[in-house]
Structure 1
Amino acid sequence: MAEYLNTWTFIRSSGFVAYFLLTLSLSFGLCSTLSSFKKNKALLQNLHQTSGWYGLLTIIFHMGLLWQDQYVPYRFQELFIPFTAKNEPLDSGLGTLSFYLFLLVIGSSDFLIKKLGIKRWKKLHLAVLPAWLLIVFHGLAIGTDSREPWALMIYACGSLLIIILSGIRYLDANRIHRQNERKTVYK
């Protein structure tokens, strides 16, 4: 049991937990925009924000553990300046960029939305998609467990969920747009 309670296990686990929470956040956000979930929008938005913040905090925990790790230590600046890490600079940099994008999206949602205005905020909020893709690429490329069948299944299921929800969101938005156009034509 003691061999599982080490920094390396917590680094790996926190990476998967961050991926899970941020995938949940993205999923709840996509669902909250669907017309069929109108009645549950407030709940979905709350779950979206909460899982996003917990995901971001888990990334910070993950980075703190990397900084303290004795086996593959990261210097403080390597964690915050993309592509400067001695260990896997490209793959580490993808994680750093993902962190900054998530920080920007989540932080602006809670602290800057009024200053930005809703239109600019919505455009900025779309940065969550590349942030999420970067976290997937980061995890697959640098994760020591990423080639394990169970880890590949986690990434595959999360990716499939986001693809399906994005497709449903796209179709739902087009359907609503067409309905609004018909209403305008018949007025």
Structure 2
Amino acid sequence: MNELVSVWTLIRTSGFLAYYFMTLSLVFGLLSSFAIMKKKKTLLISLHKKSSWYGLLTIIFHMILIWQDQYAPYTLAELLLPFRAENEPLFSTFGILSFYLFLLVMASSDFLIKKLGFNRWKKIHLAVIPAWLFMLIHGFAIGTDSSEAWALSIYLISSSIICVLMLIRVIESMMLRQSSGRHNLKS
């Protein structure tokens, strides 16, 4: 098979593509929560949902390719059950846990939000942060391209963007709480 379209190339590409979509989803989700982005919230939420679904479908494609790979095949149990993989059991588990957490967050957001209620849904939705971190660790540790400068740049830049956005979000929340507390004292 041509090297450009080999199963191995597709596995690697789908892994990076899934990471890209899930990172993009996290970026859009964080941006949509900023007070300054209120006018763009509908657009950002739409982009957040679409990129998360593209990411989840790409993760599933990635897993199917790994399952079908002839060079280093994984069984379904190795792909779906933590610590069962013969190849890099710990880092494979990070990928598995990431998949399940993303699936939980998306199912709760798109199918169960009304049954859960906003507060429960929001707590579950925060699982996207460890899901993304597990995905980052999985890709960095087990990815065959992780030592390449371009791959390291992708991980470094995306991690920096997520950290900055999360820091801004935390600061904004603290400022809003502080402002709300002062308002309540005046009342």
TM-score by length of 1: 0.98
1:35 maps to which residue? 35
1:132 maps to which residue? 132
1:149 maps to which residue? 149
Q: Which whole-Å deviations, capped at 9, do the CAs of 1:65-123 have from their partners, x for residues lacking one?
A: 00000000011111001110111111111100100000000111000111111101100
Alpha-carbon distance in structure 1 between the residues aligned to 2:186 and 2:18: 49
Structure 1 stretches of 4+ with a deviation exceeding 3 A read none
1:51 maps to which residue? 51
Q: Which whole-Å deviations, capped at 9, do the CAs of 1:127-147 have from their partners, x for residues lacking one?
A: 000000000000011000011
The one-letter code matched in structure 2 to 1:109 is S
Alpha-carbon distance in structure 2 between the residues aligned to 1:178 and 1:46: 30
1:183 CA drift (Å):
1.5
**Are positions 1:99 and 2:99 aligned together?**
yes
1:151 CA drift (Å):
0.2
1:2 CA drift (Å):
2.4
2:163 maps to which residue? 163
2:118 maps to which residue? 118
Alpha-carbon distance in structure 2 between the residues aligned to 1:96 and 1:170: 28
Structure 2: tracts of 5 or more residues without a match: none
Structure 1: tracts of 5 or more residues without a match: none
The one-letter code matched in structure 1 to 2:19 is Y
TM-score by length of 2: 0.98
Q: Percent identity?
A: 58
1:10 maps to which residue? 10
